[in-house]
């Protein structure tokens, strides 16, 4: 494992100029795993310059060659999936099986965009003038800055780097300070796959604002792609305006899950438990309000409690563990405050509710899988993103009421509904103001499908045929025939 030389600039691994490093810890034990280079202004500037220099050659490279590099990276990632998953478990905390699923999902983006590289089609448009021809070209935007979060520390990188590289862009990536090692592992694969120097550069740092400012203010950077909190995303979007960068923003969410009384409540509870406690609730598509129609409330709640009772919290590498720690103390405080606030305002605590400290868990940041009943609009959890293992159940009576309440959020990323009524599934999925709707489906995501939100959940889409558009400018060529 690298120690201190985790910057990847112009095809070379290096340390920070002043040798500065920061510690990377295991959230399950608090133990220091490694140190990473603490890049700053000078290193970021060099990474931007390298990307700028590489852009002309890489954008002129033919799409089949760009695809080959991505396919080779895909093959390497698939071959080393178990090592990568073990690293992710150590650095990020999720159980090994979940980490392995994430690595596979991450590799899917490499394969998908390797194929999309070859499908950057243009078009021709008839003109009303006889001697004129219009053609439309799609060309790479230029140098891209990518900023990624810690909760999905491998797939959020391939979801940005793969389409950028496929489109012919070059990129400077700044990963989250909690998970630089996963980023290093991805970049080692890209280098081994033969990506030319400067096409993808990595700046690890404990100073996101400093590196971010440099990336944002540089006129050479033509696009920002960000996944993280709405708060930071708003600031970065405003700052990007000064140099008129393209932006894509994958921000927070406050997903509603609606369980209608025509659905099987036990099946719905199984889905709710799987998606709510996935990644310890640290996902922007995690259901934050689980609306359950009153007549199926007892059956749903019993089935959910049964599932929650079977979850096994612990360090992710321990066999049998199904739910890992929270990322840091601030996350623990936020979840605790939301639960206390809800209980004070009348919610019933049916399971969990506090930090776990037995069996050595006190060294990490573990919160008990929690179920709250009778949640309502007066409570913080009804509006604030939780990003933790708390299932908040909200009773409701009818369809129009629940659609209105589900839409009553500034966010608009994922939403879910359970119903066996075909008409209702169409009506409600059309009425929900979210970028993603899962109908009896808790996993409406894939490399082949567009992912993204509306409202304060962000701008743009990642994945699918839409994902590469974010890295392409449209150029019109008008030709007058002599
Ligand atoms: P979270 O609350 O999930 O950690 P953040 O939005 O704080 O979400 O972090 C997501 C990513 O944004 C991380 O890579 C983080 O380092 C980065 N980040 C946070 N603040 C800034 C900033 N001011 N400028 C640039 N990047 C930032």
Using alpha carbons, select from 361, 308, 365 the residue that is nearest to residue 92.
Answer: 365
Do residues 343 and 288 share a domain? Answer: yes
Do residues 259 and 232 share a domain? Answer: no
φ, ψ for residue 353 (rounded to 5)?
A: 110, -10
Tell me the per-residue pLDDT of 238-259, one tens digit each, with 9 for 90 and over.
999 999 999 999 999 999 999 9
User: What CATH number did the domain enclosing 51 receive?
Assistant: 3.40.605.10
Tell me the per-residue pLDDT of 436-461, one tens digit each, with 9 for 90 and over.
999 999 999 999 999 999 999 999 99
Mean pLDDT of 374-402: 98
Mean pLDDT of 191-208: 98
Q: What angle do helix axes 180-192 and 63-79 make, rounded to 10 degrees?
A: 120
2 domain residue, yes or no: no
* 177 within ligand 1 shell (Cβ under 6 A): yes
Residues whose CB falls within 8 Å of the CB of residue 41, separated by 6 or more in sequence, listed in order: 210, 211, 214
Atom of ligand 1 nearest to the CA of 215: 25
**Residue 29: pLDDT over 90:** yes
Mean pLDDT of 80-94: 98
The pair of structure tokens assigned to 93 is 């905390």
Mean pLDDT of 362-376: 97
Tell me the per-residue pLDDT of 131-162, one tens digit each, with 9 for 90 and over.
999 999 999 999 999 999 999 999 999 999 99
Q: Cα 157 to the chain's mean position, in Å?
A: 9
Mean pLDDT of 267-276: 98
Average model confidence (pLDDT) for the chain?
97
Do residues 369 and 442 share a domain? Answer: yes
> Exposed, middle or buried: residue 425 (CB in 10 Å: 0-12, 13-18, 19+)?
middle
Do residues 463 and 350 share a domain? Answer: no
Query: What's the total number of domains in the chain?
Result: 2
Do residues 242 and 261 share a domain? Answer: no
Q: Among the options 91, 102, 250, 385, which is catalytic?
A: 250
* 149 within ligand 1 shell (Cβ under 6 A): yes
* 176 within ligand 1 shell (Cβ under 6 A): yes
Do residues 195 and 274 share a domain? Answer: no
**Residue 410: pLDDT over 80:** yes
Q: Among the options 43, 91, 102, 284, which is catalytic?
A: 284
* 212 within ligand 1 shell (Cβ under 6 A): yes
Q: How confident is the model at residue 363 (pLDDT cuts 50, 70, 90)?
A: very high
Tell me the per-residue pLDDT of 289-299, one tens digit each, with 9 for 90 and over.
999 999 999 99
Q: How confident is the model at residue 1 (pLDDT cuts 50, 70, 90)?
A: confident
Do residues 116 and 235 share a domain? Answer: yes
Do residues 224 and 87 share a domain? Answer: yes
Q: Which domain holds residue 195?
A: 7-251+456-479
1 domain residue, yes or no: no
Alpha-carbon distance of 107 to 462, in angstroms, equals: 15
200 domain residue, yes or no: yes
φ, ψ for residue 59 (rounded to 5)?
A: -70, -25
Alpha-carbon distance of 228 to 236, in angstroms, equals: 11
Using alpha carbons, select from 251, 243, 164 the residue that is nearest to residue 460.
Answer: 251
Atom of ligand 1 nearest to the CA of 174: 14
Atom of ligand 1 nearest to the CA of 232: 6
* 238 within ligand 1 shell (Cβ under 6 A): no
State residue 2's pLDDT score.
81
Atom of ligand 1 nearest to the CA of 212: 25
pTM of structure = 0.97
Query: Using H for helix, E for strand and C for coil, what is the string for the chain?
Result: CCCCCCEEECCEEECCCCCCEEEEECCCCCCEEEEEECCCHHHHHHHHHHHHHHHHHHHHCCHHHHHHHHHHHHHHHHHCHHHHHHHHHHHHCCCHHHHHHHHHHHHHHHHHHHHHHHHCCCEEECCCCCCEEEEEEEEECCEEEEECCCCCCCHHHHHHHHHHHHHCCEEEEECCCCCHHHHHHHHHHHHHCCCCCCCEEECCCCCHHHHHHHHHHCCCEEEEEEECCHHHHHHHHHHHHHHCCEEEEECCCCEEEEECCCCCHHHHHHHHHHHHHHHHHCCCCCEEEEEEEHHHHHHHHHHHHHHHHCCCECCCCCCCCCECCCCCHHHHHHHHHHHHHHHHCCCEEEECCCEECCCCHHHCCEECCEEEECCCCCCHHHCCCCCCCEEEEEEECCHHHHHHHHHCCCCCCEEEEECCCHHHHHHHHHHCCCCEEEECCCCCCCCCCCECCCHHHEECCECCCCCCHHHEEEEEEEEECC
User: Ligand 1 mean position to 217 CA, how many Å?
Assistant: 16
State residue 440's pLDDT score.
98
State residue 81's pLDDT score.
98
**Residue 115: pLDDT over 90:** yes
Do residues 441 and 460 share a domain? Answer: no
Q: How confident is the model at residue 3 (pLDDT cuts 50, 70, 90)?
A: confident
Do residues 262 and 194 share a domain? Answer: no
User: What CATH number did the domain enclosing 394 receive?
Assistant: 3.40.309.10
State residue 80's pLDDT score.
98
Mean pLDDT of 215-229: 98
Annotated active-site residue 14? The verdict is: no
Annotated active-site residue 43? The verdict is: no
Q: How confident is the model at residue 219 (pLDDT cuts 50, 70, 90)?
A: very high
Alpha-carbon distance of 218 to 227, in angstroms, equals: 20
Using alpha carbons, select from 260, 309, 237, 250 the residue that is nearest to residue 284.
Answer: 250
Do residues 39 and 66 share a domain? Answer: yes
- Could you count the other beta carbons within 10 Å of the beta carbon of residue 145? 32
Do residues 233 and 289 share a domain? Answer: no
State residue 101's pLDDT score.
98
């Amino acid at each position: 494992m690298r120690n201190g030389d985790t910057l990847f600039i112009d095809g070379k691994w290096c340390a920070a100029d002043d040798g500065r490093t920061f510690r990377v810890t295991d959230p399950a034990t608090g133990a220091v795993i490694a140190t990473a280079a603490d890049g700053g202004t000078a290193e970021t500037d060099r990474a931007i310059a390298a990307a700028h220099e590489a852009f002309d050659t890489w954008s002129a490279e033919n799409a089949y060659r760009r695809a080959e590099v991505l396919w080779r990276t895909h093959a390497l990632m698939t071959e080393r999936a178990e090592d990568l998953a073990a690293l992710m478990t150590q650095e990020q905390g999720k159980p090994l099986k979940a980490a392995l699923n994430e690595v596979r999902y991450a590799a899917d983006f490499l394969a998908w965009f390797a194929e999309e590289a070859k499908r950057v089609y243009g078009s021709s448009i008839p003109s009303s003038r006889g001697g004129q021809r219009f053609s439309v070209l799609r060309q790479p935007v230029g140098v891209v800055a990518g900023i990624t979060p810690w909760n999905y520390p491998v797939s959020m990188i391939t979801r940005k780097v793969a389409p950028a590289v496929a489109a012919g862009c070059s990129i400077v990536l700044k990963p989250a300070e909690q998970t630089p090692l996963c980023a290093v592992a991805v970049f080692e694969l890209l280098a081994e796959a033969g990506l030319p120097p400067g096409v993808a550069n990595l700046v690890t740092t404990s100073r996101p604002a400093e590196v971010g400012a440099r990336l944002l203010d540089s006129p050479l950077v033509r696009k920002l792609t960000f996944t993280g909190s709405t708060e930071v995303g708003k600031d970065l979007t405003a700052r990007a305006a000064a140099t008129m960068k393209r932006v894509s923003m994958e921000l927070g969410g406050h997903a509603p899950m609606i369980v209608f009384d025509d659905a099987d409540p036990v099946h719905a509870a199984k889905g709710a438990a799987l998606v709510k406690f996935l990644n310890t609730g640290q996902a922007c598509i995690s259901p934050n309000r689980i609306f359950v129609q009153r007549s199926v409330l007892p059956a749903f709640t019993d089935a959910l409690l049964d599932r929650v009772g079977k979850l096994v919290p612990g360090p992710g590498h321990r066999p049998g563990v199904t739910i890992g720690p929270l990322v840091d103390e601030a996350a623990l405080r936020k979840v605790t405050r939301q639960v206390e606030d809800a209980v004070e305002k009348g919610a019933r605590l049916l399971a969990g509710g506090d930090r776990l400290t037995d069996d050595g868990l006190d060294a990490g940041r573990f919160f008990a899988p929690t179920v709250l009943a009778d949640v309502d609009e007066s409570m913080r959890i009804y509006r604030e993103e939780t990003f933790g293992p708390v299932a908040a159940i909200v009773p409701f009576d009818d369809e129009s009421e629940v659609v209105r309440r589900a839409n009553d959020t500034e966010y608009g990323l994922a939403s879910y509904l359970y119903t066996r009524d075909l008409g209702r599934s169409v009506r409600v999925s059309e009425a929900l103001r979210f970028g993603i709707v899962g109908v009896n489906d808790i996993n409406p995501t894939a490399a082949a499908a567009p992912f993204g939100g509306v409202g304060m959940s962000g701008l743009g889409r990642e994945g699918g045929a839409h994902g590469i558009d974010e890295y392409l400018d449209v150029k019109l060529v008008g030709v007058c025939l002599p």
